Amino acid sequence: MTILNYLQVIYVGAAAMYFLSKRLKRRYGLKKDVRQSLYNDCDKWVMNLRRKRRKFLGGKTPNLADLAVYGYLSAIEGCQAFQVTGILRDKVQSSQMSFHHLSGSPAKH
Taking only the tens place, the pLDDT of each residue in 15-25 is: 999 999 999 99
Per-residue model confidence (pLDDT) at position 57:
81
Fold of 31-109: Glutathione S-transferase Yfyf (Class Pi); Chain A, domain 2 (1.20.1050)
Per-residue model confidence (pLDDT) at position 97:
58
> What confidence tens digit (pLDDT) does each residue in 35-60 have?
888 888 888 888 888 888 877 888 88
What ranges do the domains of the chain cover? 1-30, 31-109
Verdict on whether the full-model pTM lies above 0.85? no
User: CB atoms < 10 A from the CB of 24, how many?
Assistant: 11
Per-residue model confidence (pLDDT) at position 29:
92
Beta strands in the chain (DSSP E): none
- Element of type H or E holding 37: helix 34-52
